[in-house]
Amino acid sequence: MSSPATYEADPSPMIGPARLIRAAFEGADMAARADAILTQAESGDLEAGTALDLSTILLLMHRFEPALQLQNEVLQSCRHFQLQANGYDAKTRVLVIVTAGDLMANTPVDFLLDHPSFRLEYLFVFPGEAVPATLPDHDVCIVGVAYSTANEPVLEALASAASHWDRPVVNHPRHVLKTSRHGLAEALDGAEGLLIPRVVRTTAAEIIAVAYQPPAHLSFPVLIRPIDTHAGNALQKIDRSEDLAAYLQNTEAATYYITQFYDYSGPDGLYRKLRIVLIDGVPFLCHMAIRDHWMIHYLNAGMSADAAKRSAEAAAMAEFDALFVPRHRTAFTEIHHRTGLDYLILDCAEGRDGRLLIFEGDTGMVIHDMDPVELYPYKRPQMHRVFAAFQRAVQTRAEGST
């Protein structure tokens, strides 16, 4: 392991990912913003934080290679940043530990804590580097590094270092390590009230060796996807060995996840997938997508074009605390206890047998309030409840440490 990263006494100011994502979502001209920063760079007066913002803008423009190259160049000389407009007179100093990568590499904490009461600083750590023995001054530390195969070494280093930290930690890194697809399935296996599909990591060679049959304890139909993919990328439902052979012929990956498939369609034939966040074990519904196909994401569910779906989502949010949570209280308690995470986002559904069916759980999904108010008047108040709950959790830890 190489020498620990250093950090600057005066962190470099930056706009931050959340505000830039919001600007892009609202239709801002991101190319013009990039050009303005490049013009500033030509004058030779460019803060490291501004250059890091430029890399985020390039990611939002889907210019991934130059974005990550610029990010790496910036982080070679500066690892310590502060969100603009989060002043030094803020009540609570929050240190977010993050790592290099795309917009899914870290928890988007600045969506949750975009409030003048919080001063947010970011410290970047790299794989293969020791974590600084002494961290910048702070009241609460949030481990923002989300799980991925690439991030495992960072999380393991942070887990070793965390025993020496003397301030409260949100999402201890040893618990974040449980949020791989196979790790979460193992952690929650056998929990009361939960339906946890079996997940197996495998390779193409191993699948071919068993004549394109599912791994042990799984049976057709199954789902297959390359490891570290999200949003349905290269995800396919496989019903026969011939389909599995065809999939492998058209997909190149070193390692795959194969997961048992469960039909979770309702009596009306529609599928409903919920995104729920647990904050200190308390569940909040962030959205419910409805579609006539098992592969649901909010953007492919046609929610904005269907008033009936939006009405159903609004009703689900209104009834969530009184009806949904009591039905699954034991399941939520088990998830919180077994993962140990202070903040966890779940993609899930209600199985046909009444149990809570878990598809995925991690700390890096975006929880936001950007949906148009005219189409989703019920969502912004709900999301602000989520933000307020997270802010209370952080503030409570800060007050307990003084």
pLDDT in tens, 47-92: 999 999 999 999 999 999 999 999 999 999 999 999 987 555 788 9
Select from 3.30.470, 1.25.40, 1.10.1660, 1.10.3210 the CATH code of 271-401.
3.30.470
Going by C-beta distance under 8 Å and a sequence separation of 6 or more, which residues neighbour residue 98?
A: 105, 106, 122, 123, 124, 125, 144, 145
Does the predicted TM-score (pTM) go above 0.85?
yes
Q: Kindly tell me if the per-residue pLDDT of 4 is higher than 70.
A: no
The pLDDT, as a whole number, for residue 252 is 84
Q: What's the confidence (pLDDT) of residue 180? A: 93
Kindly tell me if the per-residue pLDDT of 2 is higher than 60.
no
156-159 LR contacts (CB < 8 Å, sep 24+): 157/1, 157/125, 157/127, 157/129, 157/130, 157/131, 158/97, 158/125, 158/131
CA distance 19 to 360: 26
Average of per-residue pLDDT values in the chain: 93
Over range 315-339, report the average pLDDT. Answer: 98
Over the stretch 332-357, which tens digit does the pLDDT of each residue have? 999 999 999 999 999 999 999 999 99
Q: Determine the pLDDT at residue 89.
A: 72
Range 270-291 burial, b when 16+ CB lie within 10 A, else e: ebbbbbbbbbeeebbbbbbbbb
Q: What is the torsion angle, in degrees rounded to the nearest 10, for the CA atoms of residue 119, residue 112, residue 12 and residue 158?
A: 100
pLDDT exceeding 90 applies to what percent of the chain?
Answer: 81
Residues of the chain with CATH 3.30.470: 271-401
Distance CA 116, CA 208 (A): 56
What tokens were used for 34? Answer: 């990039």
What does the radius of gyration of the chain's CA atoms come to, in whole angstroms? 22
Q: For 108-130, how does the pLDDT look when each residue is reduced to its tens digit (9 = 90+)? A: 999 999 999 999 999 999 988 88
The DSSP call for residue 164 is: G
Q: What is the location of CATH 3.30.1490.20 in the chain? A: 198-260
Q: C-alpha angle 146/344/189, rounded to 5°?
A: 100
At position 291, the amino acid (one-letter code) is R
Neighbouring CB atoms inside 10 A of 76's CB total 9
pLDDT above 70 for 1: no
Give the residue from 170, 171, 176 showing the smallest Cα distance to 395.
170
- Residue 230 confidence (pLDDT) above 80: no
Q: What is the pLDDT of residue 287?
A: 97
- CATH code at 198-260: 3.30.1490.20
